[in-house]
């Protein structure tokens, strides 16, 4: 994944298992970033397992309303990106 900003960009080579990234400023100077954390969506999986074991169909954390709102934001961004190319 690459996140572009007005002062440079952040390159995350393996987004789904991210433990490192590189920050590039507008001059091309690179700064390596390292993170040590649980990855691979462990918290989401644990949350799902908890809901499943309690026979819950919806999450109190990620409600259907919040899910729809988030998807609408991503869809709007996608449309902006694809129409500006």
- pLDDT digits 0-9 by tens, 52-79: 999 999 999 999 999 999 999 999 998 9
Residues 59, 64, 67, 68: what is their CA dihedral angle, to the nearest 10 degrees? Answer: 180
Integer Cα distance of 64 and 30 in angstroms: 40
Integer Cα distance of 7 and 16 in angstroms: 25
pLDDT digits (tens, 9 = 90+) for 7-16: 999 999 887 7
The whole-chain average pLDDT of the chain stands at: 89
Q: Is pLDDT larger for residue 75 or for residue 45?
A: 75
């Amino acid at each position: 994944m690459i996140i572009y900003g007005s002062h440079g960009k952040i390159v995350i080579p393996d987004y789904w298992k991210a433990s490192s990234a590189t920050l590039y400023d507008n001059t091309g100077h690179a700064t390596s970033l390292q993170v040590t954390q649980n990855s691979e969506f462990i918290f989401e999986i644990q949350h799902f397992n908890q809901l499943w074991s309690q026979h819950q169909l919806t999450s109190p954390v990620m409600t259907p309303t919040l899910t729809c709102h988030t998807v609408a934001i991503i869809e709007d961004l996608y449309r902006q990106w694809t129409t500006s190319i």
